[in-house]
Amino acid sequence: MTHIYNFSAGPAVLPKEVLAQAAAEMLDWHGSGMSVMEMSHRGPEFISIYKAAERDLRELLAVPDNYKILFMQGGGLSQNALIPLNLLGHKPDGATIDFIHTGSWSAKSIKEAGKYAKVNTAASSETALPPQAEWRLTPGAAYLHMCTNETIGGVEYQPDFNDPRLKDVTLVADMSSHILSRQIDVSKYGVIFAGAQKNIGPAGVTIVIIRDDLLGKALPICPSAFDFKLVADNDSMYNTPPTYGIYIAGLVFQWLKQQGGVAEMERRAEAKAKLLYDALDASDFYDTRVAPANRSRMNVPFYLKDESRNEAFLAGAKARGLLQLKGHKSVGGMRASIYNAMPIEGVQALVTYLNEFAANAVK
């Protein structure tokens, strides 16, 4: 049987061990006689699942005590509205939000935030992080929003925190597609958010990590169920949380700890990405468009120079069990998403195929 490797950008591959454990526990969680799906979110069984997930995520990312972790619904996109709705209450009319635009996801964030405040695009490029010294930041901006891994275009970065201008800025980061794949200093951020379906678990859970002094600043029109302070004060149970998704996310957090945590994921991500980019760089048959310093280690967009071969490339990949390599419709080409749950063997199989396809095509 062909081994299947799933390169989907999201919903994406999950660790096999996690899926097997969830299957084994599907009908009867830990002798409770219930599936996790059937449990009250306020019962002791689910509360224990929730607390373990929260604790493990806090440990994995070394989240400081003055930060709350919220398990919300609505996906990454809803945060583009919920963050202004939650952070602008203390700002008199005329608040400006600064953005770093590096691709489709930050572009969406800018558009949505424009419904609630003035927006300033402080820097813009879809193939590299614009040099930080050139960012045109607004003095007194409500916050600075960035997407530190652009899932579609493949630009990834961490800001330079030595920049004195970042000292007094509340930084908001969309880490949907690379959270838990590299070590970060949470204390440098005001808010970190991530939809779960890329690197954490099934779609339906959105993680928000927020410094506690930012709570309680919601605009009056902010929906109660999405008011970060209400959600935090109620341990993410102001309304019914996405219980099954939180359970699977919790199993993924346990798996990550067993594998060696975020430092080990970072080491693996670098190794997997190097393998793939080296193969692409060594070939005249393929192209990449992102500046090497900002190449994503999670989402690797690439192009066949001869795009008339795209369909044949995808068909051949599928026949080998290399699935969901088609690039996002807005940019075309190919994209290999190589999240935490993608083993290096999957990337090796892809590299073998890349080389063979190129060799056969030039014959």
Ligand X SMILES: *Cc1c(COP(=O)(O)O)cnc(C)c1O
Catalytic residues: 105, 174, 198
Of 91 and 198, nearer to ligand X (C-beta) is 198
Q: For residue 359, what are its two tokens?
A: 């060799």
CA of 131: how far to CAs of 5, 102, 152, 189, in Å?
A: 36, 12, 21, 20
User: Which listed residue (174, 218, 288, 354) binds ligand X by CB under 6 A?
Assistant: 174
CB of 166 to ligand X, least distance (A): 21
What x/- string results for residues 66 through 105 when contact with ligand X is judged by CB under 6 A? Answer: ---------xxx---------------------------x
CA within 13 Å, CB half, 133: 0
Report yes or no: 85 and 79 within 8 Å, Cβ to Cβ: no
Determine whether the annotation assigns residue 239 to a binding site: yes
Query: Which one-letter amino acid corresponds to residue 122?
Result: A
User: For residues 132 and 177, which CB has a smaller minimum distance to ligand X in the complex?
Assistant: 177
Count the residues of the shown chain that bind ligand X, applying the rule CB under 6 A.
12
Which among 94-102, 125-133, 171-179, 275-283 is the span making contact with ligand X, rule CB under 6 A?
171-179
**Among the listed residues 151, 199, 296, 340, the single contact to ligand X using CB under 6 A:** 151
Residue closest to 60 by CA, chosen among 291, 250, 343: 250
Q: Would you give the binding string for ligand X spanning residues 2-31, x where CB under 6 A is met?
A: --------x---------------------
Phi-psi label, residue 100: left if phi above 0, alpha if psi -120 to 50, beta otherwise: beta
Torsion sign over Cα 210, 211, 212, 216: negative
Q: Which stretch, 88-96, 169-177, 182-190, 271-279, contacts ligand X (CB under 6 A)?
A: 169-177
Q: How far is the CB of 187 from ligand X (least distance, A)?
A: 22
- Note whether 349 and 322 are within 8 A (CB): yes
For 93, which DSSP code?
Answer: T
Q: How far apart are CA 212 and CA 280, in angstroms?
A: 44
Nearer residue to ligand X within complex by CB, 228 or 286: 228
Pick the binder of ligand X from 41, 198, 211, 229 (CB under 6 A). Answer: 198
Nearer to ligand X, 80 or 132 (CB): 80
Q: Does 288 belong to an annotated binding site?
A: no
Q: Which stretch binds ligand X (CB under 6 A): 170-178, 228-236, 307-315, 319-327?
A: 170-178
Instruction: For residue 174, say whether it is annotated as part of any ligand binding site.
Output: yes
Of the candidates 82, 251, 234, which has an alpha carbon nearest to the alpha carbon of residue 172?
82
Q: How far is the CB of 204 from ligand X (least distance, A)?
A: 9
Contact 256, 262 (CB under 8 A): yes
Nearer to ligand X, 79 or 254 (CB): 79
Cβ(285)–Cβ(305) under 8 Å? yes
* Helices and strands in the chain, H and E counts: 9, 12
Residue 242 beta carbon to ligand X: minimum distance, rounded to whole angstroms: 12
Kindly write down the DSSP assignment for every residue of 264-316, as one continuous string.
Answer: HHHHHHHHHHHHHHHHHHH-SSEE--S-GGGB-SSEEEEEESSGGGHHHHHHH
Amino acid at 246: I
Q: Is 121 flagged in the annotation as binding?
A: no
Residue 109 or 254 with smaller CB distance to ligand X: 109
Determine, following the binding rule CB under 6 A, whether residue 331 of this chain makes contact with ligand X.
Answer: no
Known binding-site positions for L-glutamate: 42
Known binding-site positions: 42, 105, 151, 174, 197, 239-240
Residues at the site binding ligand X, with contacts judged by CB under 6 A? 10, 75-77, 105, 147, 151, 174, 176-177, 195, 198
Known binding-site positions for pyridoxal 5'-phosphate: 105, 151, 174, 197, 239-240
